Amino acid sequence: MTRGPEHRRKCGFTLLELVLAIGLLAMLVTMVMGIATQNIALGNAVVAKQNEVGTQTAFIELLSRQFSSLPGNARMELVSEDSGAQYLSDLTLQNVPTTFNWGGSERVAKAIQLSTVRRRDGFLDIVLKYYENPILDETTEDGDPIDPAGEEPFAQVTLLENVYIFEWEVLDGRTMEWGYDWDLEGRLPLQMKLTYVEDPVSDPITQIFWITPKQNPEVVMRQLQQTARQGNGGAGGGNGGDNDNPDGGGGGGDPQRPPVIQLPQGRSR
């Protein structure tokens, strides 16, 4: 039996039907790709935000540990420069020996410096520099000045990048006033306040660090040595004579004079 033209036309698709099907398929693929792209972008944004928050948290914890572990003989200097919209600062900590591996060898840094470096786009990089020798002016116990001018860092690490605002303030424990600079040898501030802004549209983040007062071990040792010398001088005041003299008197004294008896309180009878 021969099939007619009407039956053969029902078994295929017309050109219009094919065009409509391809168009619907293209729209469906476009929608799926758009949703997938948005999900990928959202995931990347979430990961970037988590990394940013993690970096900030690690940075704050690093500063907290550094300030809480400052020894009593630590020296601090904060120098701030008003550049208009931002403050550029150099925070230097000295007499805080830090040991770590750099370039495959163990190094010791006697001074570290946290600096704000301005970029060409107006944002800031926070750079931590390590110095092998002291970089702040100091005086020795004999009063001789130490001038460490020209000292260069042997290592530096960029801790934060693309920061809009990074400002330090210090609280003087005696005057209870805040300031942007600190250069008092032999004394540390009571608090350090950090104001941090990621970008111009972000809210500022303020973090306060307490600095626990501690005794200077060098001063304590000098006091102990001075006390020991004074004690030895008082106890040996009556024994300045010849060791061969059994009475302990001076070599030029009267041999008929009765010996001096030393009491435990240091008074003679």
| Beta bridge partner(s), residue 112 | 93, 130
Buried b (16+ CB within 10 A) or exposed e, 204-225: eeeeeeebeeeeeeeeeeeeee
Cβ atoms of 154 and 102 within 8 Å: the answer is: yes
Residue type, 205: I
Render each residue's pLDDT in the chain as its tens digit; 269 residues: 555 555 555 566 788 888 888 989 999 999 998 898 888 888 888 888 788 778 888 889 989 988 888 888 889 999 999 887 788 999 999 988 787 777 778 888 889 999 999 998 889 999 999 998 889 886 555 545 555 567 889 889 999 988 999 999 999 999 999 999 999 888 899 999 999 898 888 889 899 999 988 777 666 677 677 777 787 765 554 444 444 444 444 444 444 444 444 444 444 43
Name the nearest CA neighbour of 108 among 92, 130, 89: 130
Q: What is the pTM of this model?
A: 0.65
Q: How far apart are CA 153 and CA 161, in angstroms?
A: 20
Q: How far apart are CA 7 and CA 225, in angstroms?
A: 118
Name the nearest CA neighbour of 192 among 76, 34, 113: 76
Q: Please give the helix or strand (H or E) that residue 132 lies within, else none.
A: none
Q: How far apart are CA 75 and CA 54, in angstroms?
A: 30
